[in-house]
Amino acid sequence: MDLVSPEPAAVWRRFSQICAIPHPSGHEEKLARFLAAEAEDLGLAVRMDDAFNLRIDRKASPGREGAPRIIFQAHLDMVPQAAPGKVFDFSRDPVTPVVKDGFVRACGTTLGADDGIGVAMAMALLEEPELDGNFAALFTVSEETGLVGAAKLDPGFLDGDILINLDHSEENKICIGCAGGARVHLAFDTGSAPVPAGRAVRIVLAGLPGGHSGVCIHEKRGNALVMLARLLRAAPCAVASFDGGTVDNAIPARAEAVAVLADPGAAEQTLRAAADVCRRELDPRFSLELEICDHPVPERVWDGAFQERFLAALATAPDGVADFAPEYGVPRTSGNIASLRTEKDILKLVFSTRSLDDAERRKHTDRLIGWFSALAPRVAVTSEYPGWKPAGNARLPGMAARLRRELTGKETVIEVIHAGLEAGLFAGKNPRLEMMSCGPAAFDIHTPDERLSIASVQEFYPFIRTLALRLMSLK
């Protein structure tokens, strides 16, 4: 679908180019090199590091050299999520954007508006003839898997006075603070036992809405891994495998297990009764399917004692919001049981923790690790990043809110969010930076239902362009 026709044409043209180049986390090199080549063709200065973080600078016009140095920042990677049954290789296949009912969306996959639209806007701003001050675009990699690129960034890439992060996908909102986070990896030895008498059955729990594990964590959308553990505890069975979840920063929408049931009929009744309890207590929007596994039949099942302890731990783990921050109206601390993978006799569990307070996040990380400690897992904590604490007397968000009111008549909410942004790491590398985060409206990010509002882009881009013009006059 041609996305050049809607205004602003330059933004949609860039967004179409970005969608055409596969760029999930860890595969951003091709997109980074394309943008670098485009910038060089425009006569702009380009810097790229070994991680493929990219900075593009536009030199100030004569007489504008003393203007504040403004950085527009976005991340290159996207979350790779496909709808059930959709065959799609995010490392090779381009995303196909379509226009429907006032939105741009993809065909059964995440769109990548998070944060492709931010990248597209930054590139378009670099081409605006009126913006003749000190401007730069900064594009980081692997933001979605723990702010990896931002953590590796040389402080020289952050040389500037003002940084506007274009990664906040909520209309008429400006973010001035965010949660820090970490990824935790646990590896368990399941042990093994002979397959008992009975039938091997694949048990699939699917249809939950999933969603962003920070922004949506308080909405009680249900966690497929936790739910399926509850169901498996209810029915006598011998588990051979348990898998679910896809990426570290999404709430699992689907999980499946292969188990041997002595009496499949009776076990199915028990499982469905337990599922009804989950629907009443947690979320009604899931399906439960049982399929006889004639081929392949499992060769071994989990050790019985391990199965009992692991399912009990997973079913009762402190998943979700741990503490609320009433002063900001968002969760303060949370955890998300993100994914589970069976690899022969090894079970790999990944969860993430977030908090506005770094000390509280570390405490909650330790609490979740401790929850599984009786099973003696091998533990690795990765991708730790700090929160971004709101500045006391920040002038930038107030100036932006007044401009938004002037241009649109709309009021702007200035907020703190329970999601990770790179600004916390940037603040540590350049404490002088004035920062805020904003962007056009996108919905259901990190899911195949992700969609980007065309009207919101049409309203936001003139706002951010005008804001840049006004920032050039600041002293």
Active-site residues: which are they? 77, 143
User: What is the Cα–Cα distance from 1 to 22, expressed in whole angstroms?
Assistant: 17
Amino acid at 355: S
Tell whether the model's pLDDT for residue 353 goes beyond 50.
Answer: yes
pLDDT tens per residue, range 220-237 = 888 999 999 999 999 899
Q: Are strands 173-178 and 413-417 parallel, antiparallel or unpaired?
A: parallel
User: What is the Cα–Cα distance from 171 to 412, expressed in whole angstroms?
Assistant: 9
Q: What is the pLDDT of residue 6?
A: 74
DSSP 156: G
Place of tokens 């896809």: 246
Range with the poorest average pLDDT among 86-95, 295-304, 399-408: 295-304
User: What is the Cα–Cα distance from 131 to 16, expressed in whole angstroms?
Assistant: 23
Domains of the chain, each with CATH number or no CATH? 9-179+387-471 (3.40.630.10), 182-385 (3.30.70.360)
Tell whether the model's pLDDT for residue 249 goes beyond 90.
Answer: no
Range with the poorest average pLDDT among 132-146, 212-226, 277-291, 403-417: 277-291
**263 versus 125: which is more confidently predicted?**
125
Does residue 228 contact residue 208 with C-beta atoms inside 8 Å? no
Half-sphere exposure of 108 (CA within 13 A, CB side): 9
Does residue 448 contact residue 110 with C-beta atoms inside 8 Å? yes
Tell whether the model's pLDDT for residue 392 goes beyond 80.
Answer: no
Q: What is the pLDDT of residue 220?
A: 86
Tell whether the model's pLDDT for residue 104 goes beyond 90.
Answer: yes
Q: What are the backbone angles phi and psi of residue 444, rounded to the nearest 5°?
A: 55, 40
Tell whether the model's pLDDT for residue 1 goes beyond 50.
Answer: no
User: What is the Cα–Cα distance from 341 to 227, expressed in whole angstroms?
Assistant: 16
Range with the poorest average pLDDT among 78-87, 133-142, 288-297: 288-297
447 pLDDT tier (thresholds 50, 70, 90): confident
Does residue 457 contact residue 15 with C-beta atoms inside 8 Å? no
Greatest alpha-carbon span in the chain: 84
Neighbours of 262 (CB within 10 A): 13
